[in-house]
């Protein structure tokens, strides 16, 4: 199963909004309402920021939101802050009943 | 609070060696969740290895690891284990355990165990 496709990098200035795309196929993202997103700071373990496409776990900032259209899911970060600088990974289950991650996107706060 | 604490770093020689990592949990009812294992090679993305139900001990392994990985649990110790056999240099990575709910909501994660396979 190929990894989901994410842009290698996205950048924005403090206070701006950015969006990270995650493109799959009908056999993964397009076939299920079950995309999750993880934030990983350098040298740290990943942290769940979005589950089931749009759900934000307790304690995650409301500046993070998720959406999906067809075979593409997106993570939006509004009011960009320095602490948001990290790697972000999308994740989906697949028609083969496995789990696949995206290649990761490095978010840089200018 | 919910915590997953993993065992320390390991160095293994390639060519038949195996490694067994542990993941000790606390702060929640152990048998109510699955434990999933994910690895991350240096500078690379995340790779799902499989999960084990802490209740039934059922497992589901990723195809890439079928026949080479075994996941187990010790309910009394609230600990999950992952053994990977026939190690090669490609297995050099940080290995994470995470509590799983739903299809692939992994939260929280352990701190990771670094495994280095080198001659």
Bridge partners of residue A101, in order along the sequence:
A91
How far off is chain B from A52, nearest CA to CA, in Å? 8
- Residue-wise pLDDT tens for chain A (110 aa)? 568 999 999 999 999 999 999 999 999 999 998 999 999 999 999 999 999 999 999 999 999 999 999 999 999 999 999 999 999 999 999 998 899 999 999 999 99
pLDDT confidence of residue B93: 98
| Cβ proximity of B88 and B26 under 8 Å | no
Number of alpha carbons in the 13 Å side-chain half-sphere of residue A7:
12
Chain B residues lying within 8 Å of A1, measured CB to CB: 63
Q: Does B96 touch chain A (CB under 8 A)?
A: yes
Q: Does B58 touch chain A (CB under 8 A)?
A: no
pLDDT confidence of residue A2: 63
Which residue numbers in chain B have pLDDT < 70?
Answer: none
Task: With H, G, I as helix, E, B as strand and everything else as coil, classify residue B68.
Answer: coil
pLDDT tens-digit map of B35-61: 999 999 999 999 999 999 999 999 999
Q: Which of A43, A45, A66 to mutate to test the interface with B (most CBs of B within 10 A)?
A: A45
Task: With H, G, I as helix, E, B as strand and everything else as coil, classify residue B63.
Answer: helix
H helices present in chain A, as ranges: none
Q: Does B108 touch chain A (CB under 8 A)?
A: yes
Chain B residues lying within 8 Å of A46, measured CB to CB: 38, 46, 96, 98, 106, 109
Which whole-number Å values give the CA distances from B10 to A13, B48, B111, in the listed order?
A: 41, 20, 14
Nearest CA in chain B to A6: B45
Bridge partners of residue A105, in order along the sequence:
A88
Number of alpha carbons in the 13 Å side-chain half-sphere of residue B98:
26
- CA-to-CA distance for B117 and B4, rounded, in angstroms? 24
């Amino acid at each position: 199963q190929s990894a989901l496709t994410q842009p290698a990098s996205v950048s924005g200035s403090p206070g701006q909004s950015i969006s990270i795309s995650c493109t799959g196929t009908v056999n993964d993202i397009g076939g299920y309402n079950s995309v999750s997103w993880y934030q990983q700071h350098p040298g740290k373990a990943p942290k769940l920021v979005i589950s089931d496409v749009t759900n934000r776990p307790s304690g995650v900032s409301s500046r993070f939101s998720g959406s999906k259209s067809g075979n593409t899911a997106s993570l939006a970060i509004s009011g960009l802050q320095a602490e948001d600088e990290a790697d972000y990974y999308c994740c989906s289950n697949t028609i083969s009943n496995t789990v696949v991650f995206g290649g990761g996107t490095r978010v840089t706060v200018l | 609070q919910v915590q997953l604490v993993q065992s320390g770093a390991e160095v293994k020689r390639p060519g038949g060696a195996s490694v067994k990592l542990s993941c000790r949990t606390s702060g929640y009812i152990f048998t109510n969740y699955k434990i999933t294992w994910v690895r991350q090679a240096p500078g690379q993305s995340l790779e799902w290895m499989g999960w084990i139900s802490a209740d039934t001990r059922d497992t589901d392994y990723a195809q890439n690891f079928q026949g080479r990985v075994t996941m187990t649990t010790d309910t009394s110790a609230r600990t999950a284990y992952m053994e990977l056999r026939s190690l090669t240099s490609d297995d050099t990575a940080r290995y994470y355990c995470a509590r799983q709910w739903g299809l692939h909501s992994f939260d929280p994660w352990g701190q990771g165990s670094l495994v280095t396979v080198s001659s």
